[in-house]
Every structure is written in structure tokens, then in C-alpha cells.
Amino acid sequence: MNILVREFQSEGRITDGEAIQQFQRQWATYQKLIESNALAHREAGEILHGVLAQKFMEPARFLDIACGDAAQMARVLIDSPVRHYHGIDLSKPALELAVENLRRMPFEVELDHRDFVAAIMKRNEPTDAAWCSLSIHHLQRDEKLRLFQAIRASTDSFLMIYEPTSLDGESRDEYMERFCRMFQTKWSMLDHDEWTQIEQHVTTCDFPETASGWLDLGNEAGFTSAIQVFSDHTNFFRLYQYDC
């Protein structure tokens, strides 16, 4: 299977730049979390797999926003009704790994080395299904809405996002306290330095919405329905589906 990798020059401010730097610096830490399923990626992926099978009788076009190394999608999509995969990510090392992870997929693959916000805002090619995991919460609320509107304009069936979620009435300090209280005891595979770096990242880069806030974004962007379909065992990460 041929894989097309496209390079794009920087298009002004990198909205997600700090998060990307964190990803590049802490690849081994990220891998620990994924391999241990500390972020419940497996459960979220299984739900996505089921929705794809339910929605599409014919192979579909799939957009993976902030795709990273695409390791999870390689497992989810290998036997899903997909004919074309389009991944977007600003991390070149991650995309190099994505090439290897997607090499044996039975569908066309395009990978764009590009800021995902800039890419979606300028996107004019349609997709059937769109996915984004643990990335949109790095944006401010008005930026999130513009991104949702752009995704809606180019998506024919549904969008699914997997994101941290704050509680109703919870302040930013309370959100951080909850994060630290829950995960310092649960992420036992991390050493002190790894935990400190993650805590710093969450402090500076996380701008989560409440559950109703995430759903409101979909409604305001013009999706016909918006629902929460999954919450991990900590109630911190939640999966949302927006139908077109």
C-alpha cells in the first residue's frame, strides 16, 4: 500500500505548539500510558470501531485529526469499512512512526505534516467520519468552536472526540487538584520526573470543557445531534459523538 506524506510550511502561530513539544519530549512517557491503557484508549477505540461498522455499509473516508503515530487507529481500522485514511499532525517523528504503523493497512493513506487547526480551517476535501483524541482541549473556547464549525462543514456522517472533561462549577484550580488526586495514585508506571512533566503540561495546556460544554460546541457548530457515549473509570476522559 502506497502512503503519501505531505509537508506543509508553518502557517503562522502554532496553536498546539506547546502540546506538540511535550509530545516530542515525552514520547516514552506517552507510550507507557498508552500501552498500560491508563487513558482508556482501548475502550474508546472499540466504540469507534463499532460506530464505523454500524454507520457504513460501503467503505468510508476517515479523517484522523492530530493523529500522532496512528498506532491506535491501525488497530481500530484494520477491519473497519474504510477506503481512505487522512492523518494530520505537527510532529514529524510521530508521522514517521505512523508510516510504519499504517504500512499494512488495506486502504489508501495520506499523512500531512501540518498544524491540525490550520489544516482543518483550510480544508476543502470532504470526509465521511472524523476523529480527534486528547487534542482539542488545548484550544480556547472560541478556537474550539471555529474548529468544530470547520469540521462540520467538511464531514458527511459523524465526528467523535475523546477529551478530558471538567465538572460543572469546577474552577481551573479544582480541575488540577482533581487531576493530581486521581492520577498520582493510578499512574504507578511513571517515575517522579515523568509525572512532574505531565503535571506541568496539564497546568499550562489544558482548557477542558464540561460535558454540557463539549455537547454545546457540537450543537452550535451545526451538528444534528451531540451525545456522550463513554466515560473512563475515573470520569476524567469522555468520548463524544456528533452526527451530521
Average pLDDT of the segment spanning 223-233: 96
Tell me the pLDDT band of 178, cut-offs 50, 70 and 90: confident
Contact (CB, 8 A) for 38 and 185: no
Model pLDDT, residue 32: 76
H helix runs in 129-191, sequence order: 141-154, 172-186
From the centroid of its chain, how far is CA 83?
20
Model pLDDT, residue 197: 77
From the centroid of its chain, how far is CA 37?
15
Q: What percent of the chain has pLDDT over 70?
A: 90
Model pLDDT, residue 74: 94
Average pLDDT of the segment spanning 41-67: 96
Model pLDDT, residue 214: 98
Contact (CB, 8 A) for 45 and 239: no
Quickly count helices (H) and strands (E) in the chain: 10, 9
| 3-state secondary structure at position 146 | helix
- Decide if pLDDT at 14 tops 60: no
Task: Say if pTM beats, i.e. exceeds, 0.85.
Answer: yes
103-152 tens-digit pLDDT: 999 999 999 999 999 999 998 899 999 999 999 999 999 999 999 999 99
- The residues spanned by each domain of the chain are 3-243
What CATH fold (topology level) applies to the domain 3-243?
Rossmann fold (3.40.50)
Whole-number Å distance between alpha carbons of 161 and 19: 17
Out of 172-181, 183-192, 212-221, 227-236, least confident range: 183-192
Model pLDDT, residue 21: 58
Phi, psi of 91 (to 5 degrees): -90, 110
